[in-house]
Amino acid sequence: MENTYIHIPYYSDAMRDNTEKIVSREYRSTQETLQDLQGDEFLQLVRSTSLESLLGEANVTLLLPTNDAVEDFRHDLEQLNALPGGEVDQGPQYSVDDGLLSRRKRSLTVAEAPRLEDLLKNHVIDGRMDSRDLLQDERVLQTRAPGSSVRITVYNTYPTRTAMANCARLTSTDHPTADGSMVHVVDKMVLPATRPIADILASDVQFATFVGLLESAEMIEELGEEPGQLTVFAPTNRAFDRLDQATRYNRIAKLIF
């Protein structure tokens, strides 16, 4: 294949701003590009489902978790589902279906979790977007996962900007493929965001005290279904145990911005 000359923003690993250069690049297929970017683990997950055709589509943007990101996620799932001594927690489970963990041949209890297909689809956005399109202020983009979206946020940190896709940091951008897609690398798996904050807090027992105080103060509706730019610093039950009762009620309003 002949070399194709393209004009794209150039970013270091920290994504330096306002620097552009002309590069010569030979386009490779999407699957080859994922392998070049250390995305073999993610690629294997896609191949284990019926979604491999997504990797041949044009006019899509892929958020690629690296091998380390996928492995860290597997490790987190195993830690959250196992108690000391090898016992399995029979309470709420935080995992995905057997597909993600099958390559580790571990048997875990799974409940109220996204399907592997939906988790993978959450890394696919319709439309081929380079960094100039993707990192425009704050954007909320629908993914291929049903009812899910990803929020792109750019922070003016020093010395370089930090860009986030939900809770995953973009570490490398602008990798076009011969199939007509664009790949950006992230340092975590991008989990589907389908529920309002109130539901997420209420479903996790470690935030029971916080949720109770929100309800007492009639503030839980602020975390309801209406979309908006809201950040919540949610203290755990253990954090509240360290406070006296008067302090709990006096401080709660300061926890929501």
| pLDDT tens digits, one per residue of 90-127 | 444 444 444 554 444 333 333 345 688 999 999 999 99
Task: Indicate the range of 149-163, 195-209, 215-229 predicted with least confidence.
Answer: 215-229
pLDDT the model gives residue 170: 95
Name which residue leads in pLDDT, 108 or 84: 84
Residues of the chain with CATH 2.30.180.10: 4-68+117-186
Residues 139 and 92: their CA atoms lie apart, in Å, by 32
Name which residue leads in pLDDT, 196 or 254: 196
Token pair recorded at residue 125:
């956005």
Place of tokens 């390559």: 103
Say which CATH topology domain 4-68+117-186 has: FAS1 domain (2.30.180)
Task: Indicate the range of 17-21, 62-66, 194-198 predicted with least confidence.
Answer: 17-21
pLDDT the model gives residue 234: 84
pLDDT-based confidence at residue 206 (cuts at 50, 70, 90): confident
pLDDT the model gives residue 123: 96
Closest CA to 127 of 182, 165, 53: 182
Angle (deg, nearest 10), helices 40-47 and 67-81: 70
pLDDT the model gives residue 3: 45
Residues 91 and 160: their CA atoms lie apart, in Å, by 42
